[in-house]
Structure 1
Amino acid sequence: MSNPLPSAAFQNLTPAQFAEGMRQPGAVLLDVRRPDEFAGGHLPGAINMEVTSPDFAQRVATLDPSQPIYVYCRSGARSANAAGQLNAAGFGQVHNLLGGVLDWPEQLVK
């Protein structure tokens, strides 16, 4: 499987690795899907910032770049895009959920 961003500093994690990491103290869980997708079910504790929104960069700038960020979407494509943008914005600990919520084994919350 080829990574479209070979120089990206973010880590792609399996659902099990992602679940373990997102439970660390201080971890920020970021859902980058559309608000209607988020409302249909999301990971517990997630905040919603749509990656395709024109103000995504401004909204991300409100987060603390020293905290680990765990990013996900429906299938993993939009979150990989968002993770790359987070790295470019100076976030050093960015983690992407491979397979997105489609591969998430636990119950989503509304």
Structure 2
Amino acid sequence: MSTRRTFLLLAGAAAVAGVGYVALPRGPAGPALDAAEAFRRAEAGEVLLVDIRTPEEWAGTGSPAPAHRLDMRRKDFLAALSDLAGGDPSRPIALICATGGRSARLARALEQAGFSQVFDVAEGMLGSSAGPGWIARGLPRVPG
């Protein structure tokens, strides 16, 4: 990875981690996937599915079976996400949280940090106005 790209990713990580949940970008969400489509694409290797919730949330509901757990509050979140994506900011990534709020805001922040294909699983694990959610759809989970 080039020095410039590394710097930009780390600067974005500092911005994402340092400003916290409340200060994440607001406004129209980018592309969204429903839980069933996120599962299908993750299983096919077409998208990297990342559960951005907290360890306490994972313990309570488990996580999507094909998802990587990465607490969005980690100080090294962006660097860890970049590692999961193999250092490729164009790799398709789908974010899931409880109800789609945090994942939508974080998706916008990641796009500003240089990731080009970030999807929001808008219905989340528990459901929202976007749909019933991963759990209600009966999609596979791993225990917390």
Verify same fold: TM over 0.5: yes
Residue of structure 1 equivalent to 2:74: 53
Aligned match of 2:44 in 5, 13, 24?
A: 24
Aligned match of 1:93 in 103, 117, 135?
A: 117
Structure 1: distance between partners of 2:96 and 2:77:
15
* Residue identity opposite 2:112 in structure 1: A
Structure 1: distance between partners of 2:39 and 2:82:
24
Size of the alignment, in residue pairs?
Answer: 105
TM-score normalised to structure 2 length: 0.63
How far has the Cα of 1:26 moved from its partner? Answer: 4.7
Q: Relative contact order (alpha carbons < 8 A, sep ≥ 6): 1 or 2 greater? A: 1
Residue of structure 1 equivalent to 2:141: 108
* Residue identity opposite 2:141 in structure 1: L
How far has the Cα of 1:70 moved from its partner? Answer: 1.2
Q: Contact (CA 8 Å) 1:32, 1:72: kept in 2 or not? A: yes
TM-score normalised to structure 1 length: 0.79
Q: Secondary structure at the match of 1:61?
A: helix
Residue of structure 2 equivalent to 1:14: 34
Would the alpha carbon gap of residues 28 and 88 (structure 1) be closer, same or farther in structure 2, given more than 3 Å must change?
same
Identity of aligned residues (%): 34
Is 1:5 the counterpart of 2:27 in the alignment?
yes
Aligned match of 2:99 in 61, 75, 86?
A: 75
Flag structure 2 segments of 5+ consecutive residues without an equivalent: 1-25, 127-132
Root mean square deviation, CA, Å: 2.0
Flag structure 1 segments of 5+ consecutive residues without an equivalent: none
**Structure 1, residues 19-63: CA drift from partner, whole Å, max 9, x if none?**
232223252110100022224400112111112333222322323
Q: Which has the higher helix share?
A: 2
